[in-house]
Homo-oligomer: A and B are copies of this chain.
Amino acid sequence: MSLFGLFPRKKTASAARDRLQILLAHERTGGGGSSELLAKLREEVLAAIAKHVSVDETRVNVSMKNEDEMSIIEIDLEIPHADLPRLRLAASR
A residues with a Cβ closer than 8 A to B are 1-4, 6-12, 14-30, 33-34, 36-37, 39-41, 44-45, 48-49, 51-52, 63, 65, 69-70, 72, 74, 81, 84, 87-88, 90-92
Contacts and interface: CB of A to CB of B under 8 A. Distances in A.
Interface of A is mostly: mixed
A12 B29 contact: yes
Contacts of A26: 18-20
Contacts of A91: 36-37, 39-40
Copies in the assembly, this chain: 2
Nearest to A12: B29
A23 to B, nearest CB: 4
B22 A22 contact: yes
